[in-house]
Chain A
């Protein structure tokens, strides 16, 4: 009923290769994007934008980055927090050194710097695999955080070691700094993540994505059919780190406003990795679903006792929240080890047949 595909014929290669080949999908996604850009900033209050939606969008960006590396190219990385820190600190250094530079350009350059750092730390991936590579990327995480903590140049010699996002405008609208409204920061984050997701989706559907998947599925076979492992793996590291770097810059400039190295600690790396695993390895949609799950569910659980007017002590509330959250993660992983994206796929297939499943 919902998906009535009768009469939808693909008459050209372009229509066959479309990201959303079904017309209904196309319309739903288009309506969703318009709603996200127009309706949400008008309707949502500051709490929603600041505490829920902005972090969701930024974590989605980071999760897309890690998903390209871990989900598509099969290289397990625990250095996400470190690469995000590179992006955050690079953006801070760039925008304080060149205040006239448009902040969007700054974000892109911060991504490029993070990509270069990612390339360096990706070199060991040629020789080591799996868990051993995870340990090597863990070294990146600790080294980078140590570096930013140790060398005062990165924080412009701030005595506290904190970096603060200065006020910057895009097309006359303040998007960073204390006076930027949550709505403006939300739209900026949304625009960047939309662009990022579109590029990522097309990357993984093309030659590069196919070579990544070939390496992931069996690297020797991939090498035999002509995929060059070094170049492919390094490319995965570079592009993944670019996404993480942009996410890190957004994290400081659009979400936190000011940050210290502690904001990028190993916990952040694990958080993004969990998003990718729960959302679905090797799926762009999964990156969004995983980020939504990790960001939204704890906030939802925190607010449940308030909605039900249960007078629980806060410490107990927090502990219940952690237990329920942990339980939900295990539940979803048992039910569908391939992540939420796979669940969505199954639901969609059922919907296409509903209400006449054969």
Chain B
């Protein structure tokens, strides 16, 4: 057989084997809670994707190992590699949703936008924790989408409030120059409308500087920053853009403690490459960094000591690892709420949605699960899928991140009306109608 004949045969086999590639058979629902995990452990964003995925998996392993799951129902999951690519993410979702997905964490704004219209059709709640579409915070229009504990708009307003307190009061912001350096994509642009509104309200000078993806080349942006000589910089960056920006800021001698990244711009990978220059760089977050919490010692005891850890023990406690843990915890608590105390049975999709919507995570509950002080209590309602959770500011000291602020409340009076207007716009595009929350119980 010649090589050419071989290749024809190979093609024929590929074509014939095609129908066999249909996704795995549907697993009977009811026994376990199944969660599809869209992860990106390869590709250009892998340094961010790996710790998130590890934190996620470790917390679920902890629940299964220590408590036998949630209320006696085991949690199962399957990872699917997206490379942070929207099309691959949607392929993953389509493949895994047939297995009775209880919820989906898209872990990319692009994938979230794709899944939002699918959520009510497939009856899979979308939990985009602190990312995705800010307008989906209005639960009256988007019953199947949740983005608590807080969204990009609330975050931006909390950062402005923080800057105000540093300057000695919000009225002192008048005439100050604030620059927003952002990833030129839907994700990066999210905070702009809120910042523009706040700049009108508090009369600071806002300059918006976009950085085109991926952001390896930012010389012109930082030349502009140098010319402007702003008082503060806020950054919504992602991936390689962050480390380049931190390096460039250090190179032009910008005061690093006046440079604040959002919660996707403040992980170890963003500051380490800049070395000592990154010292003092700040970031916003909604959970603490580090491993000084009971939940971490439990993970070590029940997961890593049994050799079931997803990553390395030393890598625990980085901001993104902890974000994975928090995300898994919110998901698990929503599952628990959805069960309403019933043991041994996985919730139906409607119950799952109800569980998210009625999640009430109290201080007491946080203490029970070993997360006191790790994150803030949160209450989700039918109207408010965001919870307007407060924000912390953390600072890099050259070795690790430290919390340097109290919990900062977002400016709900500014953000909420904007969300409601935006929700109407976004929902209209999809042909949705508003539901009456008074009737829901």
0/1 string, B36-58, CB within 8 A of A gives 1: 00010110001000000000000
Chain B, range 97-143, C-beta contacts under 8 Å to A: 98, 110, 113-114, 117-118, 120-121, 133
CB <8 Å contact, B117 and A160? no
A159-B193, A164-B430, A314-B39 are known contacts. Are A258 and B14 too (CB-CB below 8 A)? no
B13 to chain A, nearest CB (A): 10
Complex: how many Å from CA A336 to CA B94? 35
A145 to chain B, nearest CB (A): 9
Find chain A residues with CB under 8 A from B21 CB.
299-300, 303, 307
Complex: how many Å from CA A313 to CA B399? 31
Does B345 make an interface contact (CB < 8 A)?
no
CB <8 Å contact, B24 and A160? no
Stretch from B183-191, B286-294, B355-363, B403-411 forming part of the interface with A: B183-191
A-B pairs with the 3 shortest C-beta distances?
A178-B117, A315-B41, A160-B186
Does B420 make an interface contact (CB < 8 A)?
no
B265 to chain A, nearest CB (A): 18
CB <8 Å contact, A262 and B4? no
A128 to chain B, nearest CB (A): 26
CB <8 Å contact, A160 and B91? no
CB <8 Å contact, B94 and A335? no
0/1 string, B404-426, CB within 8 A of A gives 1: 00000000000000000010011
CB <8 Å contact, A331 and B7? yes
Does A13 make an interface contact (CB < 8 A)?
no
Does A135 make an interface contact (CB < 8 A)?
no
CB <8 Å contact, B18 and A300? yes
0/1 string, A297-324, CB within 8 A of B gives 1: 1011001001100000111011100000
A209 to chain B, nearest CB (A): 27
Find chain B residues with CB under 8 A from A299 CB.
21, 91
Chain A, range 307-358, C-beta contacts under 8 Å to B: 307, 313-315, 317-319, 331-332, 335-336, 340, 343, 346-347
CB <8 Å contact, B42 and A315? yes
Find chain A residues with CB under 8 A from B117 CB.
164, 177-178, 257-258
Complex: how many Å from CA A45 to CA B215? 40
Find chain B residues with CB under 8 A from A265 CB.
213
Q: Which listed residue (B6, B20, B94) contacts A46, Cβ 8 A?
A: B94
CB <8 Å contact, A159 and B189? yes
Complex: how many Å from CA A160 to CA B191? 9
CB <8 Å contact, A335 and B7? yes
Seen from chain B, the residues whose Cβ lies within 8 Å of a Cβ on chain A are 3-4, 6-8, 11, 14, 17-18, 20-24, 39, 41-42, 46, 79-81, 83, 86-87, 90-91, 94-95, 98, 110, 113-114, 117-118, 120-121, 133, 184-186, 189-190, 192-193, 210, 212-213, 422, 425-426, 429-431
0/1 string, A160-171, CB within 8 A of B gives 1: 111010110000
Q: Which listed residue (A51, A261, A331, A347) contacts B94, Cβ 8 A?
A: A51
CB <8 Å contact, A263 and B86? yes
CB <8 Å contact, A48 and B22? yes
* Most chain B CB atoms below 10 A, which of A178, A340, A343: A178
CB <8 Å contact, B189 and A335? no
New A-B contacts (4) at CB < 8 Å, excluding given A179-B431, A314-B41: A45-B22, A48-B22, A166-B431, A300-B18
Secondary structure call for the A interface: helix
Does A137 make an interface contact (CB < 8 A)?
no
Find chain A residues with CB under 8 A from B41 CB.
313-315, 318
CB <8 Å contact, B4 and A260? no
Find chain B residues with CB under 8 A from A46 CB.
94, 98
Find chain B residues with CB under 8 A from A149 CB.
184, 210, 212
A56 to chain B, nearest CB (A): 11
Find chain A residues with CB under 8 A from B114 CB.
256-258
Find chain A residues with CB under 8 A from B121 CB.
178-179
CB <8 Å contact, A47 and B22? yes
B141 to chain A, nearest CB (A): 13
B58 to chain A, nearest CB (A): 15
A154 to chain B, nearest CB (A): 14
Complex: how many Å from CA A335 to CA B6? 9
The size class of the interface chain A forms with chain B is 35 or more
A135 to chain B, nearest CB (A): 19
Find chain A residues with CB under 8 A from B20 CB.
307
Q: Which listed residue (B7, B86, B133, B185) contacts A336, Cβ 8 A?
A: B7
Complex: how many Å from CA A331 to CA B8? 12
* Most chain B CB atoms below 10 A, which of A167, A258, A306: A258
A159-B192, A256-B86, A331-B7 are known contacts. Are A164 and B429 too (CB-CB below 8 A)? yes
| Pairs across A and B, CB under 8 Å, 18 listed | A47-B23, A47-B94, A51-B94, A149-B184, A160-B186, A162-B186, A166-B430, A256-B86, A257-B117, A258-B114, A258-B117, A260-B185, A262-B110, A265-B213, A303-B23, A314-B41, A343-B11, A346-B4
Q: Which listed residue (B79, B90, B429) contacts A51, Cβ 8 A?
A: B90
Residue of B nearest to A328 (CB): B10
Chain A, range 267-318, C-beta contacts under 8 Å to B: 296-297, 299-300, 303, 306-307, 313-315, 317-318
Does A50 make an interface contact (CB < 8 A)?
yes
Q: Which listed residue (B81, B90, B95) contacts A314, Cβ 8 A?
A: B81
A47-B22, A258-B117, A319-B42 are known contacts. Are A300 and B87 too (CB-CB below 8 A)? no
Residue of A nearest to B120 (CB): A178
A159-B189, A346-B4 are known contacts. Are A318 and B86 too (CB-CB below 8 A)? no
Residue of B nearest to A152 (CB): B189
Find chain B residues with CB under 8 A from A178 CB.
117-118, 120-121, 430-431
Complex: how many Å from CA A297 to CA B431? 36
CB <8 Å contact, A343 and B186? no
Find chain B residues with CB under 8 A from A160 CB.
113, 133, 186, 189-190
Complex: how many Å from CA A154 to CA B94? 30
A45-B22, A159-B192, A306-B24 are known contacts. Are A167 and B431 too (CB-CB below 8 A)? yes
CB <8 Å contact, A318 and B8? no
Complex: how many Å from CA A335 to CA B431? 52
B288 to chain A, nearest CB (A): 28
Does A183 make an interface contact (CB < 8 A)?
no
Residue of B nearest to A145 (CB): B212
CB <8 Å contact, B11 and A161? no
B304 to chain A, nearest CB (A): 17
Find chain B residues with CB under 8 A from A318 CB.
41-42, 81, 83
* Most chain B CB atoms below 10 A, which of A265, A314, A347: A314
Find chain B residues with CB under 8 A from A88 CB.
none
Complex: how many Å from CA A167 to CA B431? 7
CB <8 Å contact, A51 and B81? no
Does A245 make an interface contact (CB < 8 A)?
no
Complex: how many Å from CA A46 to CA B192? 37
Does A81 make an interface contact (CB < 8 A)?
no
Complex: how many Å from CA A299 to CA B87? 12
CB <8 Å contact, A159 and B190? yes
Q: Which listed residue (A162, A296, A347) contacts B113, Cβ 8 A?
A: A162
